[in-house]
Structure 1
Amino acid sequence: MTQLPMGNALSAFRNDARIVEIEAEVLDRWRIEHFAGLAQARDKLHRDVVSTADAKRKAERDRRNGKRNVRRVQLDVGDYVLIGKVSQAFGPKLQVTWLGPRRIIQALSDWVFIVEDLRDGAVSEHHVSRLKLYAVRDSNVTQDLLDHVAYVEGGHLVQELRDAKFDRSDKTWKIQVKWRGLSELENSWEPVSNLLEAVPTMVAAFVKKHARWQCEDDG
């Protein structure tokens, strides 16, 4: 009868290989070389990611520009444009409503522009796909044009913000509005949230001025 020789339970944790002593300077050099290699690999990975993203964007631009009956709109600073406001229509499709005109005041790129609201000077950023040329830059801002903006966007023009109050019934802040072309008797109290969407620049100026009055009264 054969029998395997008895083993040592600790043999699995033993290493018969000879331990080699390495100087600290050598370890430091290896560590520096290792981290340098990792940094190079990381930088190459980042370059590859950026290059791939740029290639995809270029391919998408070429695909869009290559479509039939699609012509790229050439826009310049000073031109008047309509901006497309996207809203959810019935069903899965989006509905675009064209508002304005607005005036282009800065070109961030060939595809992204900053436009100015002719009524209150509020600025916003838009992609060229959401802009339509309305008139070239040599047009003048007339009262008729401002009235046209108000008509297109379905509302009155705010002439001045007069006062503010807290409405306890619906627990909201409201501002008294003087409407252009309407009498003082037709002034109305409008929710701040609505005015922030319509005339954010005027609201910001009013709040700043109103806060200064409050500080002077408290003093």
Structure 2
Amino acid sequence: MAVLTHFNEVIEKVRKFVGAHHHITTAYSPWAYRTVEVVNRLVLRAVKALLSEMKLNADEWPHVLPLVQGALNHQPVDRLGGIALVTAFTGLPAKTALAGFVHPTSKEVFVVDWLGAARQKHVTDLQAALEDVHHNVAVRSDKRVDAATESPKSSLRVVGQARGRRDRKSQVKFAVTRVITDYVMETQQLVPPYEVMAHHACRLKMYHEGGREVTEEIEAQIAFGDGGFHVERLDEARCVDGQDQVLVKWLGLDDEESSWEPGANLLDDIPVVFRKWAAANKEVPAVAALIKTLDFP
């Protein structure tokens, strides 16, 4: 709010100095058509990606925010005729957002001079791969046509069978369509009825391609982001051997996999959610006893 007030004061001084009128046009107001919300979501996504890439904790986001701000300021804007914001406001030329940056904690300098050559190589490899795919598809299509022509009768064969959802050895293939959290994925069946459901990452058997190598960077990234469950809701409370426990429904897991967790741990891990749930259910005797034991309002 202080920044907005300062902006209004500066605009008012400029208006008086040049003898002009200043009116806000609705079409160009960032809050008129939820442009601010869209930009905030993009900024949040970029900050999360940088935190994961640099292996920083979530509370260290102020360290990577200047990188995102710099990328936005040096990005060409269509409304300004392809001119970056830094050029429009200061007259300075825009720079490549990934020219290089310094790690906020280790002070290690990351330089991406290899980016241009790597991009060219990836595009060339992609072009060659697409040509191979089209060639293989054409060959398989010709073989099917030849087989159908030679065979007097055509037959339908079942090449796979999807077992029930309750079967632990389910062979149904899924595709990840949306990432809900760092550990919960929204998946969709690749065969009818194309059911969409949420699964925890520990319940998914990832697709493996033999041609891909497991590098040290991949192993380090997996170790950094391994584990973790998100609470979907808190159901009920109980006291066992003097310990207050709460039944937790985990996001992406079935109701049968809900677990009783110590209330003190939940108060430390998810204080806001836990306090709201306790306040909404304080009339329940078990919850009231839990509030009294943990001594929080």
| TM-score, length basis structure 2 | 0.25
- Which structure has the greater CA radius of gyration? 1
Task: State TM-score, norm by structure 1.
Answer: 0.33
Taking CA–CA contacts closer than 8 Å with sequence separation of 6 or more, which of the two structures ends up with the larger relative contact order? 1
More helix by share: 2
